[in-house]
Amino acid sequence: MSDWPEIGIHPGIPAEEYHQGPGVSQTTLKRVLNSTLYHARHALLSPSDGSSATTVFDVGEATHIALLEPHRFDQRVVRGLELDRRSKANKEAHVDFAAEHAGKIILLAKEFDKVEAMAVGVLRNKKAVEILAAPGFTELSMVWEDEETGQLCRGRDDRYCRWQEMNIIADVKTHAGHCSTDSIERTIGKFGYDIQAAFYLDGMARLGAGDRRFVFIFVEKAAPHECRLFEASEDMILHGRAKYRKALKLWAEAEKSGDWPSWGNEITKAELRPYDLAPEEDFYGRD
């Protein structure tokens, strides 16, 4: 019987159980930094019911299953019907199909094909294949207590493995553009992947897992669906750590005080962003 959610490293915990577990996740900490404590707490207490139609999340989740748990792909992911919903008969066919495959991820046909193509793209990358096949764990959940704040934290590694005499945390990411270095670095900053890397590495360190490195496995969403690996640099980890520690302290203080501030009541003066400014020659006028 699993001892989840006690402090420690926990293989084999279902995703649904992990997401319902205690502790602050890297997603919550990024919400603290990108919005307010009030919004972050609301999202944690009122998660989406997942009742919407196919979403980007579904494609990402299906891709993770295809790469990390391929033995479960046919059980969890289904290619949807190629029927429009204009006629009554077609609408009923979709309803029946959804009922038949209840609990599974039903993708539009083009999205299903994209997931399969992305999986093939990753499998063309020799080092990605080695990391995915190296001795270790897939979807490894962990719970730890932050030493400074006493806050309970949790994380979930896509892969934790031993590869080339190194302990690797590997995370699979789909990427909207080409995997150029500039594009990937912009994406890491935009979505706070530096925060995730530092948070997970520190969590593993707190649990005594030894030396570790964090590797991103990026795969392009569009053809030719190429895959490229990036390792989080020491500088990236330092910056990610500074960000998540700020958010974690704010969260811990809010829990202690019971005060979860939002935007506040002051009127804020709005300015145009640099790219929305009028050209200088138009701003100053012409003779």
- Render pLDDT for 42-89 as a digit per residue (tens, 0 to 9): 999 887 644 444 456 788 889 999 999 999 999 999 998 888 888 888
d(CA 150, CA 42): 22
Average pLDDT value for residue range 134-141: 95
Average pLDDT value for residue range 236-250: 98
> What pLDDT is attached to residue 52?
45
> What pLDDT is attached to residue 218?
98
Beta bridge partners of 142: 9, 155
Instruction: Say how many C-beta atoms besides its own lie within 10 A of residue 275's C-beta.
Output: 5
Domain ranges of the chain: 8-256
Maximum average pLDDT range among 85-89, 102-106, 243-247: 243-247
Residue 209 has pLDDT above 60, yes or no: yes
Average pLDDT value for residue range 129-158: 96
DSSP string, 139-198: EEEEEEE-TTT--EEEEEEEEEEEETTEEEEEEEEEESS---HHHHHHHHHHHTHHHHHH
Give the percent of the chain with pLDDT over 90: 70
> What pLDDT is attached to residue 286?
57
For the chain, what is the radius of gyration of the CA atoms?
22
Predicted structure pTM score: 0.88
The CATH class given to the 8-256 domain equals alpha beta
Sign, Cα dihedral of 156, 159, 162, 165: negative
